[in-house]
Structure 1
Amino acid sequence: MSLHVLPVHGLPEIEAGADLGELIAKAGSFEDGDILLVTSKIVSKAEGRLLRAADRAAAIDAETVRVVARRGPARIVENRNGLVMAAAGVDASNTAPGTVLLLPEDPDASARALRARLQQLTGRRLAVVVTDTFGRPWRNGLTDVAIGAAGLPVLEDHRGRTDTHGNELALTVTATADELAAAGDLVKGKASGIPVAVVRGLPHLVTAEDGDGSRPLIRAAADDMFRLGTSEALRRAVTLRRTIRAFTAEPVDPAAVRRAVAAAVTAPAPHHTTPWRFVLLETPEVRTRLLDAMLAAWQRDLAELDGWDPAKIARRTARGNVLRDAPYLVVPCLVMDGSHAYPDGRRAGAEREMFTVAIGAAVENLLVTLTGEGYGSAWVSSTMFCRDTVREVLELPAGWDPMGAVAVGRPAEPPRERPERSADAFIAVR
């Protein structure tokens, strides 16, 4: 098999309303089975997607469905066609000053229409791929990819085939249309004024039907492990962190909890100390023994110290069921190692407050990271009301001060949506 990638020379500047198929047919010479790689810019120009816009950012906003990542003025976004790319494809190059080009409104429809027109004019069996330039995660440099297609399958599924050593391929699916787009760009270039290329030698790829277009190339959200940029993912995890009180019976992965603890111990702390310890209750027997002892201590104190009747005690202690129903518990403890000793109570109290703030920051890191791992959590204060009992059951050192307990598990149901909370009510500016 031999493969040729040929530039199509002689196309004029494309204007709105131009018959793009006729212009390409006149400029090139085509054979059955040819695949045309057409730069999206000339498709956009023919379709009148030129916009006079002094504010490119506003044009990007109008084309954006979702911001994936942002760094300074640069934005990676998802546009209305599901394409994730820089600036929603809004382009100020190869267009007059003061104007920007938007991507074709429906690149697959554009590819189908252009293919039909070219086949009508040339009498040849052709495929059309509309291309645009993308950056790529993990790699430097730009390359052309397919954003619209007609007349060929955009993916080739190798799963179930065997390689030359007899190994069955389990994951390999080739992005054929993207490979073709990149090959075409080798002869089109970025500043050569050659917006169309022909790939010749792959007639078996050209189908009678238009096919599914470029949509199969777009990864579904559920399968996208990199759906958000770093800071966006962190903000999303913080936003999604909710108190979850009902869990499934699915076991919790201890490695995920350890990763969350590793994030927790990056929290700021006074005097370069590490004032946190995390007790992981991974066995049901230990959890039950602790919760039974805590319940007895609570019932005793509520009756003797507060004078509550049994019904009121039962209602109050029922709040702890979230811990009993969770498949995994974490008990964060405060240690005062490295704290400064002060002779007066005021400064000694402030010292302890600093350490308490530090463990609060650590627990927040823990909860947010668990959310990113797909787990729900509830930070419950109950161990703080019976610290001696907790230390005794868990055999903790005297200096370990339990600061509540965190219930961890898969949420039994999605949390209810909550409205965004404006920061304005919580800010004072001086």
Structure 2
Amino acid sequence: MNTDLPRGFRAGTAAAGFKAPGRTDVGLIVSDRTAAMAALFTTNAFKAAPVQVSQEILAQYGTARAVLANSGQANACTGSEGLANCRETQRLVAEAVGLEPHEIVPLSTGVIGAQLKMDLWRAAIPELARSLGSDDAEAFTRAFMTTDAFPKFVTRQVHLSGGLVRLAGMAKGAGMICPNMATMLSVVLTDAAVSREAWQGMFARSVEKTFNRVSVDGDTSTNDTVLGLANGASGVSAASEQDARLLEDALAEVLGRLAYMLVKDGEGATKVMHISVCGAASDADAEQVARTVAHSQLVKTAIYGQDANWGRIVAAVGRSGVPIDPQAVRLTLCGIERFRDGQPVNDDMEEQLAELLKGKDIEVGIELGDGPGVYAVHASDLSHDYVSLNADYRS
């Protein structure tokens, strides 16, 4: 896969020792020019210091030149000291690379409640500044990984009327994923020229169709952020309606691929459930049913165990809080219909279904027979390893 950043962006990384000696844990991306900024943030009431600072940058300026991301320290629930430390990291990096502090958007991930190790920050920033120059998206992505099993990055090219533009998306996240505006940390860059307002609108719509439709464990982090910078370095504008649509489609494709990777890499995950609901009275009702099934621990563990226990899915539909007519509900699992007219069907296909459940991608289709509402969500299964990873997270 091509891991090059779009034109006008440079990346660098450093090993600060925030969590493990010798491992890159801080990354910096700098744009050669001011970029339009778009972002969405966690809805958790306990917003981490970098989230608060990033929100200020978006509201006051709407533009940025750099992204500063670290793992090993979330800087969440750290009060006024945490905010001051976050601003100090901006100041130190700005001084090292010739930017203004407000041009640097901070992102952090790690254990909640610990203050930043400022001595390590000060020691690492010279190395970080010296390393700038790479256009490798994967290297930056590795710098903000935590329990991720693999780096998540996607690159795309799209032909607009004025020429070719590039996009690169990077994300980290394997647990605490049930976003309500974003998901863990994600950065998307493009060298297209687009207005701040149009870019923010594209982000909001694309996140709603992608990151807002995944679930690993039902938790929403204090640090969730999805950030986009459009620096126009290609000289190609997405000002026309057609070009804006093409760019938004490419953005949604990038975010959709990243969202799938997040679920696939859910802590201890072995499978991805693709849950689609149709025939609801409204899209909102379809979403409520889909999310109830996606969050069900009994459904998740059954899928992990390759157990064709479709009754758990039906039970989750029935307790979703949406008015349900049991006689109208139809359920298909891996393309095989298993429930219709209030009773099981195709019992003779149990062995075939068990074989299909050995796959990595599991299709769950739910029809409610009550209207035009539809919704789809991707969810991981729940394995022994999820418990082990999270029980030992701080060890």
What is the TM-score normalised by the length of structure 2? 0.22
What is the TM-score normalised by the length of structure 1? 0.21
Structure whose residues are more often strand by fraction: 2
